[in-house]
Amino acid sequence: MNTTSLYILKAKKCLYYVGMIVFMSLTLVNCAKRGSPTGGPQDSIPPVFIKSEPPNFTTNFDGNRIRIYFDEYIKLKDYQKQLIVSPPLENSVISPQGSAAKYVNIEIKDTLEPNTTYVFNFGQSIVDNNESNPFSYFKYVFSTGDYIDSLTVKGSITDELKTKPDEFVSVMLYTIDSTFNDSIIYNERPRYVTNTLDSLTTFEIGNIKEGEYMLIAMKDEDANFTFQPNKDKVAFLKEFITVPNDSSYTLKLFKEVPETKSSRPRHSGSNRITFGVSGPIDSIAINLLTETPPNFRSKITQKINSDTLYYWFDPKPEIDSLVFEATGPTYRDTLVAKLRTPKVDSLRFSSKTGRTLVLDSPFEITSNIPIEKIQDSLIRVIRDSIPLDYELLLSERDTKLSLSFKTEEKTKYSILALPGAMTDFFGNVNDTLTYTSTTKEASDYGSIKLTLVNAKNFPYIIQLTDQKGEVIQERYTTNETVFDFTTLKPATYLIQLIEDTNGNKIYDTGNYLKKRQPEKVIHYGEAIEVNASWSLVPTFELKD
């Protein structure tokens, strides 16, 4: 072997060893990366749209399949809520579902209308497969006619009884033509629809044809694009709108009062029939139609804090059913209760107040059977072995007993009901009842002195609520502007003011068919944090 060949051989070996060293180094680096606890930088880039077949904004569309391509694997997240098709299509099949792909596939199985612009608004449903980064608010648009409709309707959503409206509120347009009537929202889908999605209170319906429309918003619980008053909130404008225009519309969501009606009655206790009621429970009347003996007695009570009525009767007739007539303002029905052999109700009492008595609040006792008679002389309110004067009130259709008496700070009170103090509907009497409850110091509570400024549209209902909207305290005024809310437990509170337009001292919601808007509710701008011993003096300025 000559010298030149030897050098070439050595060079090849050197390159071989260098190559092996580089390969092993890269392998070790890759292994180190795979084992790294940090995992490297997180992907935050959303998918990139590449193309669609047919192209976006296609006119004279006559196909039944659309594909939308991306630069990476994507999946559809919550597309049942996020995807809005306008005008609505019932039978489209969208994929991928549950898996990943580099495209979205749309199969249209509906008959498309001629000369109509269709919009598939994906909201934030298209996300990458690894980190779920959304490709936000992508719209695929096509027209079965010669051009794409391009007009828009914009606005915002409010909720009269909430500081922020619900998420995923549908906003709809119905065409005003010779077939239109007010009941269309109960049984027909809208012409155009959009959705406020999960974080917005504004809306924009795009790609609309010129014309006259009815504008509706709806919290569509079943996502069927039709109004179900017992489930859905609704908002409407009294007047139709004309497109195009530059107006921005405000839609106020409300829940209608359900029609008063009763469900089928149930024999739930030996001498008790249970009626479930929808709508205002005080507006329903229940009358027995079955003939009964002369000594037959009955009484109706309401289960506390519920939509249930109890029909108590005595004696139990020797028949297999009782027939009732239930009536309401717009409702009448004949109902049959099949009689069985359920267990006998036994008289029970419980303290609604518990072990802590709020200063200046009554002590409350509830019974499971209506009380017919009370002997005041057998009921005692005791403080330090000294009987106190009290006032007694039987309410809630004779199942709640309220004892009002003067209270002091950090004081224990005993409530004693001796045997026979209370007699129920069937003549049963109580055994000895003893309850103990203690007040706290006044400094354990906070207070709010609220002042209204620029108050003009009296009367008002002023409500202090918790963060869920439950009314804690309420005031009514026809001219006063300063209100004290005392003995407040440390918590976060909200204040809302209702313009009581009809002066009936309750909030009146709206009604779509009657074209009645809900009474105006004004929310204090921010939540109020109340701590023990705090005395807050907020000012509520009402704007013209």
48: left (phi over 0), alpha (psi -120 to 50) or beta: beta
* pLDDT single digits (tens) 146-176: 999 999 999 999 998 888 889 889 999 999 9
Range name among 32-46, 91-105, 233-247, 324-338 with the lowest pLDDT average: 32-46
- What does CATH list as the number for 349-440? 2.60.40.3710
Task: Please give the CATH topology (third level) of the domain spanning 151-253.
Answer: Immunoglobulin-like (2.60.40)
Kindly indicate the confidence band of residue 397, based on its pLDDT and cuts at 50, 70 and 90. Answer: confident
Residue 44's pLDDT is 82
Task: Please give the average per-residue pLDDT across 59-73, as a whole number.
Answer: 97
Class of domain 49-143: mainly beta
Looking at the predicted structure, is the pLDDT value of residue 246 above 50? yes
Kindly indicate the confidence band of residue 41, based on its pLDDT and cuts at 50, 70 and 90. Answer: low
CATH 2.60.40.3710 residue spans of the chain: 349-440
Neighbouring-strand partners of residue 332: 327
34: amino acid identity, one letter:
R
The span from the CA of 155 to the CA of 162, in Å, is 18
CATH 2.60.40.1120 residue spans of the chain: 151-253, 443-541
Structure-derived torsion over alpha carbons of residues 133, 137, 138, 140, reported in degrees to the nearest 10: 150
Range name among 11-20, 159-168, 378-387, 457-466 with the lowest pLDDT average: 11-20
> CB 522: neighbour CB atoms within 10 A?
16
Task: Please give the average per-residue pLDDT across 282-294, as a whole number.
Answer: 95
Within 36-103, where are the H helices?
A: 79-82
**Residue keyed to tokens 């009782």:** 322
> CB 240: neighbour CB atoms within 10 A?
13
Q: Which CATH superfamily is domain 443-541 in?
A: Carboxypeptidase-like, regulatory domain (2.60.40.1120)
SS3 206: strand
Residue 43's pLDDT is 74
Task: Please give the average per-residue pLDDT across 382-391, as a whole number.
Answer: 97
Phi, psi at residue 273, to the nearest 5°? -110, 135
The span from the CA of 542 to the CA of 444, in Å, is 32
Q: Residue 33 gets which letter from DSSP?
A: H
Residue 39's pLDDT is 53
The answer to whether 189 and 222 are in contact (CB under 8 A) is: no
The span from the CA of 543 to the CA of 452, in Å, is 11
CATH 2.60.40.1220 residue spans of the chain: 49-143
Looking at the predicted structure, is the pLDDT value of residue 27 above 90? no
The span from the CA of 206 to the CA of 193, in Å, is 9
pTM of the model: 0.80
- What does CATH list as the number for 261-338? 2.60.40
* pLDDT single digits (tens) 195-236: 887 767 899 999 999 999 999 999 999 988 899 998 999 999
Cβ neighbours for 248, distance < 8 A, ≥ 6 positions apart:
154, 155, 156
* pLDDT single digits (tens) 304-355: 778 999 999 999 999 999 999 999 998 999 999 999 999 999 999 999 999 9
